[in-house]
């Protein structure tokens, strides 16, 4: 069982969506992740939203002209996503076991984004496997972008993965470090409890 399932019981979709709707209603910018991704690959690129949740990031990317596929294990979250954007492909699957070739359009994505603390909320011990699966979903030269908390102030669960560990998993999966930021607004990372990391698949 993933740490997310332990935390929510798999019934969190409506509550999660309501929380973000309230933030948006209060004027908070909800599209930093999508803007960040749009700065990395051009419109029309294929994007895999790994751990897509209720679809907030992917729906915005689709609006910007990206060819998107969303994958999540939590059916309650996907139900919200499907209601909001029924025309988009929402796939229920475990990131530790899914086969990228089985996704709509197959593998060969230009970018994989894992926002929303995906890695700290995985089942303990599956982190390296998930990085490997996500790397396999990318075309040569494709990018993996992951943002996650590193301390209790930025996580709903105790911290479980460090940046050196994550970088090591990426290297094992054939990914090269590109850059790291403190926020989805691309502020420079100088330490701290949250990081957005960019890695690239080795080109053939």
Per-residue model confidence as pLDDT tens digits over 96-140? 999 999 999 999 999 999 998 999 999 999 999 999 999 999 999
Other residues' Cβ atoms within 10 Å of the Cβ of residue 77: 28
Q: Which residues are CB-contacts of 198 (< 8 A; sequence separation ≥ 6)?
A: 40, 143, 144, 145, 177, 178, 179, 180, 181
Q: Which tokens hold the place of 35?
A: 């803007």
Q: Give percent of the chain above pLDDT 90.
A: 79
Band (pLDDT 50/70/90 cuts) for residue 53 is very high
Query: Residue range 53-67: average pLDDT?
Result: 96
Strand 109-114 and strand 90-92: the pairing is: unpaired
Band (pLDDT 50/70/90 cuts) for residue 68 is very high
Number of domains present in the structure of the chain? 1
Q: Return the closest-CA partner of residue 70 out of 126, 84, 124, 8.
A: 84
Q: What is the dihedral of CA 106, 107, 109, 114, to 10 degrees?
A: 110
Q: Give me the CATH number covering residue 14.
A: 3.40.50.150
* pLDDT on residue 23: 47
Q: Give percent of the chain above pLDDT 70.
A: 84
The 10s digit of each residue's pLDDT in 153-196 is 998 888 899 999 999 999 999 999 999 999 999 999 999 999 99
Other residues' Cβ atoms within 10 Å of the Cβ of residue 191: 8
Band (pLDDT 50/70/90 cuts) for residue 25 is low
Range of the domain at 91: 3-201
pTM for this prediction? 0.87
* pLDDT on residue 91: 98
């Amino acid at each position: 069982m993933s740490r997310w399932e332990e935390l929510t019981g798999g019934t969190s979709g409506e509550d999660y969506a309501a929380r973000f709707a309230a933030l948006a209603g209060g004027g908070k910018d909800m599209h930093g992740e999508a803007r960040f991704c749009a700065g990395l690959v051009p419109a029309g690129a294929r994007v895999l939203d790994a751990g897509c949740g209720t679809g907030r990031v992917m729906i915005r990317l689709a609006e910007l002209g990206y060819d998107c596929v969303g994958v999540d294990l939590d059916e309650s979250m996907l139900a919200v996503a499907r209601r909001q954007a029924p025309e988009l492909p929402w796939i229920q699957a475990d990131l530790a076991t899914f086969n990228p070739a089985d996704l709509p359009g197959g593998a060969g994505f230009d970018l994989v984004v894992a926002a929303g603390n995906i890695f700290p909320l995985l089942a303990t011990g599956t982190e390296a496997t998930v990085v490997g699966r996500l790397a396999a979903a990318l075309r040569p030269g494709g990018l993996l972008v992951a943002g996650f908390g590193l301390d209790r102030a930025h996580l709903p669960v105790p911290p479980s993965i460090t940046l050196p560990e994550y970088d090591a998993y990426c290297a094992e999966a054939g990914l090269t470090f590109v850059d790291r930021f403190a926020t989805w607004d691309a502020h420079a990372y100088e330490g701290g409890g949250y990081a957005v990391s960019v890695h690239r698949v080795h080109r053939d």
